[in-house]
Amino acid sequence: MKKYKLRLNINDIDYTLKVGAGETLLDIIRDQLNLTGTKKGCDSGACGSCTILMDGMAVKSCLVLALQAEGRKILTIEGLAQDGVLHPLQNAFVEKWAIQCGYCTPGMILTSKALLDENPKPSEDDIRMYLTGNICRCTGYQKIIDAVASVGQLQGERHGKK
* 61-120: contacts with other proteins (CB under 8 A): 62-65, 67-68, 70, 76-78, 80-81, 86, 90-91, 93-97, 99-106, 109, 111, 114-115
Please, what is the minimum distance in Å from the beta carbon of residue 14 to other proteins?
19
The nearer residue to other proteins, 51 or 150, going by C-beta atoms, is: 51
Please, what is the minimum distance in Å from the beta carbon of residue 157 to other proteins?
22
Site string for other proteins, 1-40 (x = CB under 8 A): xx-x---------------xxx-x-----x---xxxxxxx
**Residues 148 and 142: beta-carbon distance below 8 Å:** no
The nearer residue to other proteins, 76 or 150, going by C-beta atoms, is: 76
The nearer residue to other proteins, 47 or 74, going by C-beta atoms, is: 47
Report the side by side order of strands in the sheet with 13-19.
Answer: 13-19, 4-10, 73-75, 51-54, 57-60
Could you count the other beta carbons within 10 Å of the beta carbon of residue 25?
A: 29
Residue 30's contacts (CB-CB under 8 Å, 6 or more residues apart) are 36, 38, 40
d(CA 100, CA 111): 18
The nearer residue to other proteins, 125 or 162, going by C-beta atoms, is: 125
Residue 61's contacts (CB-CB under 8 Å, 6 or more residues apart) are 24, 25, 26, 29, 38, 50, 51, 52
Please, what is the minimum distance in Å from the beta carbon of residue 12 to other proteins?
16
137 binds other proteins (CB under 8 A): yes
150 binds other proteins (CB under 8 A): no
Residues in the chain, total: 162
